[in-house]
Structure 1
């Protein structure tokens, strides 16, 4: 038996804990729903590929349901049509169970993000078991409609993780009701949200100078809370016995305590425990706490180190609800690896892919696909049905409703999704979604009921506008046959051994030149540049190393045009952050002279992880201020290629915060800066002799603005709202600025103006929520709309450096919403190069040889890089995450 960190006294005390008595105090019971969801007509979907989640896919399959219940699942020829049924032709389509999110904050951390909508954490005491997410739930949250469009039919809405015990979770069946009661999952038990680790000790110990301030304080808090609950149960049991024996002498009932009442229901097994916990050692500690108190943990959530103790979790039947590859945002998440879910499944554990995100919930199917392929690449033999269970049946088990939903089996709820494209593909799009047999989303018309927040013209980018584009074509549709068959050709999918030759020739490769695809090409890298790109039959130059390209695709390296890569190591660790100013210095609104290149950490562990996503370079910049400073171009081997790449400016809400004023003050301050910088450029001698009036910035800042005014240094302006974008266009015209818009949530609304001004836009395609009042009109097809109008689109993750590896997934989503495939590739290669005047992004003679060799479509999660060259030199495709996987691939002997 492994050493356990809690003292022997604590562990041995488990044997003396009395059994929980039967309920003596009434548990809080939800009110009856005031609206019934009734299927009006039977439905049968025929000739689809049916993926039931309980077993292999059924080709030419059918699914039928009546009165909200599945009645038949099987081959189409064997499934009878119910009387009066609607027949849906599923030819070429896929059918799965409804997607289930076992960890959501929709409705309690609703959009737009505002004080009014932030109801997810009763952070007023470390233990607030008495509260319930149901009583904060806003059924008009626009995110709920977006989730339905992603195939979601059920979700567990949890309080946040500030507290040791945050309160009750609320099980939801995703209909669009008027109240929480109308969307409560019928018959489902509540959950209890608990959190271990850094969150409670930061919120209470650091911020409020109270307990808990350490992990040992956390554990003491859980133990004390459940000890009090046990005393509360005993008190009620004693009173009940007295009442039964001598009613006149029993006295009044004990005072109800809603906090202890909830914890007592946990001890009785009537409420499921969902435990936020990242570190492996803390999961083991929490298992001991649960054993001492006498309750079971249903699932550890986030659980990025679950793979280290997966045997313990599987033995105790504790599920792991995690992400596919979200990691690095704090030190607790530093050891996250993409094989986590796969390793848990491999030992028989219940793995679940959850979202914890209003964006991630919309593509849980994609996240499951990513986790599946990363596991397979590492030698974990998993099936598609197992990956599907991560977001269906296993998630249902976490909610305690696996007998009711989560798989396509007769008698279960008719929670069904009809997909165009394989459900685990980045290109999959839900065509129709049924919950309890009732349509909640249809690709032809959107969600069946709009959020009240989005009625009328309030948000023209709302979820009802979802049918604007078709799913992406396959490689075959593009005229490309190259793609490694991993199951039949292991050599094609194997990493190319790292070589040191100065000249490399790729033979028979399918190459994306920037202008288009060239099949069976010979591409030669020499002297750090692309030397030649020639059609089939051309021999490699003498002395070059040759790399077999058959079945493989070669592209320019991907470049993220706006990140903090190399400036931030661990998101919440201040000592590892060099992406902004601190203290009094943070009050500076103009920081034009700051050069991000001076802060780049060339040894960052995040660079190798980004390489695993095919990313060879990034535009990296500090944040904050009205003028943030100058970005650098850095490659993912840690090299700063260019130190002064562009000037960065914030309009909208970030600009207002920087100047502590209104948009009018933001523009006044910018005009003053530009005017004074122009005057400084004309009258430097006067400035040096103090014959100029006071100016708007320091000499260094004014000097840094000179190439901006000369039009030789691009200006990247963060602007989301139409009015801010137009203000940026006006400033660019007045001062001759070379403008790039970043963010661009509403840029599609002024696409013609941007096209006329030849201004490119940096987008994160998956951002489609009215996240704030600057982005009310965000929509998933924005990239396609901008491109159609003639605007050059650049694609970015616009955020956490650790997630730069998902850049290609962002592009894949843009393609699924109408952006041409080749243009999506250009949005990460040649379009970025043009916007920032970089000699990369194309496979043409003379271009810098930053290239990636892929097993298949670079935008599809089933593909991966097998070789990368930066400046013609091959770099390894290995990372710390892979070292962690190798260390824990085999469990230690017991």
Structure 2
């Protein structure tokens, strides 16, 4: 065998190993009716309903109530069990990252600061080994989000059990992500501080100039004048026409105020991601009907002079301020801790029902995905069956997960390795 042929063969073998998919086969489409009986139903919208039946047909919830009947349904008795809507993980890189320390398996960002045309759907991997390890914790859907600087691209709402990205994609609003520049630090050297502030102001001015130029492009496109097409501004047209939402990743009060001013000037629907100081700006955000995806539930305080539990109590402060919010977990495989993050907010001011709503229905509303996040007639049959409280990692045990009425295989790489080393 020649040296060239040997190298090609080795490359093929290495490439095949790197592209290996997980072993779990996506569940087939629901055909017959399923009747879940005698469950404690955590409906989210209508409280907790004990001893309640739920009927699933063609991927939808078609009836809820006591003592339901259906001639041809597969009946499953859930006496003593809890039934929850599937959890929705926001601001994740699921499907875009496989092994964070291996650069070739990371496709979360591109070069440059102006990439609104980039779409997570082009890089999303529905065969990622991480997906089964996350959905076993009750997470049925995730927002797969690009990272970067400036306009980093468009995220995608996906179900976590699918053959292809087309199958995985769930209808939602167009989601454009803008990473706000980091505020400058204060240095002992005044000249160094002044230069840092100048760089920050230039970065903010650049964002404002970019949106101003994009608005001019929109005016030209709407007037049907002959203009030179720019794929970046062309991609922004849905947002500028009110057909999408601008997700601005910002934490400090100044950054959030500046982002809100930008959104107000260009009449853009606004969602703040991160949102550490968002509770301080209730008047500004509520005036614009803005929402917050809070991602610091398990973090330490942002500032050294703040109470140790400041990050933990911010969801309750957002609730008190009347700001619509959901809880996110900015990670890939570690987004499995979303239920734990929600549980933390219960210890710091939210009720269990409010915490559950923040990772289900509220999350679906913020990303424009009606029909998700609650157990109600007409909603998607994406459900979780547990023997305990889904917000309590010590007592909960996820026994079954349904996505669109399809029972998902809960096997995963973690369980396989556990069984393997039991035999050592």
Same fold flag (TM > 0.5): yes
Q: 2:220 aligns with which of 660, 683, 695?
A: 683
| Superposition map of 1:782-821 within 5 A | 782-799=314-331, 801-821=332-352
Counterpart of 2:203 in structure 1 is 666
Give, in angstroms, the shift of residue 812 of structure 1.
0.2
Structure 1 residues 686 and 524: CA distance shift in structure 2, 3 A: closer
5 Å matches for 1:78-477? none
Q: Is the contact made by 2:272 and 2:290 (CA closer than 8 Å) also made in structure 1?
A: yes
- Are residues 547 and 709 of structure 1, via their aligned partners in 2, closer, same or farther at CA, if it must alter by over 3 Å? same
In the other structure, the counterpart of 1:562 is 91
Q: Is 1:706 equivalent to 2:243 in the alignment?
A: no
| 2:148 is equivalent to residue 616 of structure 1 | no
Once residues 709 and 772 of structure 1 are traced to their aligned partners in structure 2, the CA distance between those partners, rounded to angstroms, is 39
Q: In structure 2, do the counterparts of structure 1 residues 655 and 559 end up closer, same or farther at CA, with 3 Å as the change threshold? A: farther
* Inter-CA distance 759–499: structure 2 relative to 1 (3 Å threshold): closer
Change (3 A) 1:771 1:624: farther
Deviations 1:133-170 (CA, angstroms, capped at 9, x unpaired): xxxxxxxxxxxxxxxxxxxxxxxxxxxxxxxxxxxxxx
Contact (CA 8 Å) 2:95, 2:131: kept in 1 or not?
A: yes
State the distance in 2 between where 1:689 and 1:755 align: 37
Aligned residue among 26, 30, 43 for 1:513: 43
Residue matched to 1:881: 414
Q: Distance in 2 between matches of 1:706 and 1:655?
A: 32
* SS of residue paired to 1:731: helix
Residues 735 and 550 (structure 1 numbering): CA distance in 2 closer, same or farther, change over 3 Å? same
**Partner of 1:544 in structure 2?**
73
Asked if the contact 2:32–2:72 (Cα under 8 Å) also holds between the matched residues in 1, the reply is: no
Tell me, what secondary structure is at the counterpart of 2:76?
strand
Aligned equivalents of 2:364, 2:129: Cα separation in 1: 25
Partner of 1:831: 362
Cα distance, 1:532 vs. partner? 1.4
Residues 753-804 of structure 1, C-alpha deviations (whole Å, 9 max, x = no match) = 323432221113112322699x9995320000101111122111112x1111
Counterpart in the other structure of 2:12: none
What is the number of equivalent residue pairs in this alignment?
379
For residue 760 of structure 1, what is the aligned residue in structure 2? 291
Per the TM alignment, residue 643 of structure 1 is displaced from its structure 2 partner at its CA by: 8.2
Task: Give the secondary-structure state (helix, strand or coil) at the position aligned to 1:780.
Answer: helix
Instruction: Work out whether residues 652 and 720 of structure 1, in 8 Å CA contact, stay in contact via their aligned partners in 2.
Output: no
The answer on 1:866 being equivalent to 2:399 is yes
* Residue 752 of structure 1, CA deviation: 4.1
Partner of 2:182, secondary structure, is helix
Residue of structure 2 equivalent to 1:843: 375
After superposition, the C-alpha distances for 1:795-850 in whole angstroms (9 at most, x for unaligned) are 11112x11111100000001111112111111111111111111311111111211
Tell me whether 1:728 sits opposite 2:264 in the alignment.
Answer: no
Aligned counterparts of 1:592 and 1:734: Cα–Cα separation in 2: 19
Quickly say closer, same or farther: Cα 1:627–1:779, change in 2 above 3 A. same
Distance 1:723 1:777 in 2: 22
Task: Give the CA deviation at 1:620.
Answer: 0.9
1:597 aligns to what? 121
Structure 1: distance between partners of 2:399 and 2:32:
19
**Whole-Å separation in 1 of the counterparts to 2:381 and 2:134:** 18
Question: TM-score under structure 1 normalisation?
Answer: 0.40
The superposition leaves residues 256-293 of structure 1 with CA deviations (integer Å, 9 ceiling, x where unpaired) of xxxxxxxxxxxxxxxxxxxxxxxxxxxxxxxxxxxxxx
Deviation of the 1:665 alpha carbon: 2.1
Q: Match of 2:191?
A: none
Q: Distance in 2 between matches of 1:777 and 1:612?
A: 29
- Where 2:174 maps in the other structure, the secondary structure is coil
Contact 1:502 1:872 in 2 (8 A): no
Whole-angstrom CA distance in 2 between matches of 1:858 and 1:498 = 26
Determine which of 117, 129, 149 is the counterpart of 1:625: 149
- Give, in whole Å, the separation in 2 of the partners of 1:564 and 1:772: 29
Secondary structure of the residue aligned to 2:311 is: coil
Report the 3-state secondary structure (helix = DSSP H, G, I; strand = E; otherwise coil) of the residue aligned with 1:883: helix
* Conservation of the 8 A alpha-carbon contact between 2:33 and 2:55: yes
CA–CA separation in structure 2 for the residues paired with 1:660 and 1:709: 29
Computed over aligned residues only, the root mean square deviation of the Cα atoms, in angstroms, reads 2.8
| Residues 654-678 of structure 1 deviation map (CA, whole Å, 9 limit, x = unaligned) | 999xx99633223212222222222
Contact 1:868–1:874 at 8 Å: present in 2 too? yes
Contact 2:174 2:243 in 1 (8 A): no
Instruction: Tell me by how many angstroms 1:877 deviates.
Output: 1.0
Determine whether 1:854 maps to 2:383: no
CA drift of 1:561 comes to 1.4
Contact 1:741–1:759, Cα closer than 8 Å, also in 2 = yes
Cα gap change, 1:755 to 1:767, in 2 (>3 Å) = farther
Instruction: Describe the shift of the 1:548–1:746 C-alpha distance in structure 2 as closer, same or farther (beyond 3 A).
Output: same
The alpha-carbon distance between structure 1 residues 821 and 689, as it changes in their structure 2 partners (threshold 3 A), is closer
1:530 touches 1:846 (CA, 8 Å); kept in 2? Answer: yes
Q: Which runs of 5+ in 1 are unaligned?
A: 1-330, 332-496, 691-697
Q: In structure 1, what is the equivalent of residue 176 of structure 2?
A: 647
Q: Is the CA contact (8 Å cut-off) linking 2:59 and 2:380 kept in structure 1?
A: yes
Bigger radius of gyration, 1 or 2? Answer: 1
CA contact (8 A) 1:617 1:635 kept: yes
Q: Deviations over 1:492-539 (max 9, x none)?
A: xxxxx99965321110111122212111111111111111122x2222
Given that 2:149 and 2:180 are in contact with CA atoms closer than 8 Å, whether structure 1 keeps it comes out as no
For 1:849 and 1:677, the matched residues in 2 are separated by 40
CA separation of 1:819 and 1:712: change in aligned 2, threshold 3 A: same
CA contact (8 A) 2:116 2:154 kept: yes
Maintained 8 Å contact 1:566/1:600: yes
Counterpart of 1:125? none
User: TM-score, normalized by length of structure 2?
Assistant: 0.83
Kindly state the Cα deviation for residue 549 of structure 1 after the two structures are TM-superposed.
Answer: 1.5
SS of match in other structure, 1:758: coil
SS at match of 1:844: coil
What is the match of residue 282 of structure 1? none
Contact 1:714 1:738 survives alignment (8 Å): yes
Instruction: Find the residue that maps to 2:353 and give its secondary structure.
Output: helix
Contact 1:646–1:716 (CA under 8 A) maintained in structure 2: yes
Corresponding position of 1:443: none
